[in-house]
């Protein structure tokens, strides 16, 4: 495997009409989950990606599994949990720009993941382990499983990539800050959004954030500033890579995952950190052009034509 990850994927029921959810009658049903989104992005670009998880012994679990497998992601490490159901969440569209999500994921199959679900070989043979801050927020055993996966990665010199993906409705702020800082300190690549970095470090200047991340031991920090692009910091190099222009944002959810897939894909292809950030920016932008978290993720042809168009 090039990249492996662990996390929860759920079925997202999105209201087809605008307004409060209590009045919604029609919903679309899509598969969503930050970690599997990144693996799908990598798989579309021809990289080998694997997802460790649990699903319930139910119809929605089958939907999640077959969708992710259908996208070419390795699901050999996905277990069926006989006790707990597959998680779901609902999306309420208040206006074309504003939406809210409601999770129904406590005591879900994936939140029941444990250290025993992590096969040492699976991580040891990968080039990168991708972690997000959602998984340790799911339960104490998920937190322990994440720590276990990271210690295996460290032992075998597998690089750890970390996207904090702060979800304040999953855990209390103090615990979130403590765990996110702890995992950042164990990471080689760190991909916070500017708001997430400010939450973690208490400073908003990207340069100061870059310095704080260095002090924690991160090799490559990339601070995302939305459509404007991202700052990157390594020991040798730093700078701002301007964002790719987007005509009209249709659905911003999943952009961060597309960005992570782009950065990891660039690094796997031997691009410089700067060019990898450029690929991340491009894919993040492409994801926002269509509804759904993964529908806008490009294959190689689409990615190449996107960059060729930019040059015209
Ligand atoms: O930070 P992003 O908008 O890229 O993340 C979106 C994902 O996993 C989405 O798929 C959802 O299922 C989640 O984040 C989550 O648990 O909130
Ligand atoms: Mg994110």
Whether 108 has a pLDDT exceeding 90, the answer reads yes
User: Of 88 and 253, which is predicted with more confidence?
Assistant: 88
Pocket test of ligand 1: the residue of 8, 34, 176 to mutate, having most ligand atoms within 8 Å of its CB, is 34
Confidence of residue 311 (pLDDT cuts 50, 70, 90): low
* Residue 192 CB–ligand 1 contact under 6 Å: no
Provide mean pLDDT across the span 271-286: 96
Pocket test of ligand 1: the residue of 60, 71, 103, 293 to mutate, having most ligand atoms within 8 Å of its CB, is 293
pLDDT at residue 234, as a whole number: 95
Whether 159 has a pLDDT exceeding 80, the answer reads yes
Whether 9 has a pLDDT exceeding 90, the answer reads yes
Residue 173 tokens read as 């702020």
Confidence of residue 308 (pLDDT cuts 50, 70, 90): confident
Lowest mean pLDDT among 94-98, 141-145, 276-280: 94-98
Whether 289 has a pLDDT exceeding 90, the answer reads no
pLDDT at residue 281, as a whole number: 95
Provide mean pLDDT across the span 117-139: 98
Whether 275 has a pLDDT exceeding 70, the answer reads yes
pLDDT at residue 312, as a whole number: 59
**Those residues with Cβ within 8 angstroms of residue 104's Cβ, 6 or more apart along the chain or in another chain:** 87, 88, 89, 90
Provide mean pLDDT across the span 66-90: 98
Average pLDDT, the chain: 95
pLDDT in tens, 20-68: 999 999 999 999 999 999 999 999 999 999 999 999 999 999 999 999 9
Confidence of residue 97 (pLDDT cuts 50, 70, 90): confident
Whether 265 has a pLDDT exceeding 70, the answer reads yes
Read off the pTM.
0.96
Provide mean pLDDT across the span 270-294: 93
Specify the ligand 1 atom closest to the Cα of 258: 4
pLDDT in tens, 215-237: 999 999 999 998 899 999 999 99
Q: Please tell me the number of the ligand nearest to residue 38's CA.
A: 1
Task: Spell 272-303 as b/e; 16+ CB within 10 A means b.
Answer: ebeebbbbbbbbbbbbbeeebbbebbbeeeeb
154 and 186 Cβ atoms separated by less than 8 Å = yes
221 alpha carbon – ligand 2 mean position (Å): 15
Question: Rounded to whole angstroms, how far apart are CA atoms 257 and 283?
Answer: 9
pLDDT at residue 245, as a whole number: 74
For residue 42, give the nearest of 310, 294, 272 by alpha carbon: 294
Question: Rounded to whole angstroms, how far apart are CA atoms 86 and 220?
Answer: 35
pLDDT at residue 291, as a whole number: 82
Percent of the chain topping pLDDT 90: 89
Specify the ligand 1 atom closest to the Cα of 134: 16
Tell me whether residue 169 is exposed, middle or buried, using C-beta atoms within 10 angstroms of its C-beta: 0 to 12, 13 to 18, 19 or more: exposed
Helix (H, G, I), strand (E, B) or coil at 274: helix
Catalytic residue list contains 117: no
Catalytic residue among 2, 117, 163, 257: 257
Provide mean pLDDT across the span 183-191: 98
* Residue 254 CB–ligand 1 contact under 6 Å: yes
* Residue 99 CB–ligand 1 contact under 6 Å: no
């Amino acid at each position: 495997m090039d990249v492996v990850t662990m996390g929860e994927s759920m079925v997202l029921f999105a209201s087809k009409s605008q307004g409060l959810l209590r009045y919604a009658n029609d919903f679309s049903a899509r598969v969503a989950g930050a970690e599997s989104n990144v693996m799908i992005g990598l798989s579309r670009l021809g990289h080998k990606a694997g997802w460790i998880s649990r699903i319930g012994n139910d119809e929605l679990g089958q939907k999640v599994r077959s969708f992710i497998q259908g996208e070419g992601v390795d699901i050999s490490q996905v277990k069926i949990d006989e006790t707990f159901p597959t998680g779901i969440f609902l999306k309420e569209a208040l206006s074309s720009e504003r939406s809210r999500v409601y999770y129904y994921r406590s005591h879900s199959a994936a939140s029941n993941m444990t250290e025993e679900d992590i096969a040492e070989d699976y991580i040891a043979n990968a080039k990168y382990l991708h972690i997000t801050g959602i998984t340790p927020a799911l339960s104490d055993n998920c937190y322990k499983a994440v720590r276990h996966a990271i210690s295996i990665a460290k032992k075998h010199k597998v690089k750890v990539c970390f996207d904090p993906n702060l979800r304040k409705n999953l855990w209390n702020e103090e615990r979130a800050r403590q765990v996110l800082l702890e995992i950042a300190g164990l990471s080689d690549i760190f991909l916070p959004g500017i708001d997430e970095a400010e939450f973690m470090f208490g400073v908003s200047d990207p340069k100061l954030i870059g310095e704080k991340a260095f002090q924690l031991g991160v090799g490559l920090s990339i601070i995302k500033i939305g459509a404007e692009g991202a700052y990157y910091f390594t020991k040798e190099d730093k700078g701002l890579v301007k964002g790719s222009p987007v005509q009209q944002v249709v659905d911003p959810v999943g952009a961060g995952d597309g960005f992570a897939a782009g950065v990891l894909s660039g690094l796997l292809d031997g691009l410089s950190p700067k060019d990898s950030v450029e690929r991340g920016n491009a894919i993040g932008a492409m994801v926002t052009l269509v509804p759904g978290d993964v529908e806008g993720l490009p294959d190689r042809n689409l990615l190449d034509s996107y960059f060729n168009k930019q040059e015209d």
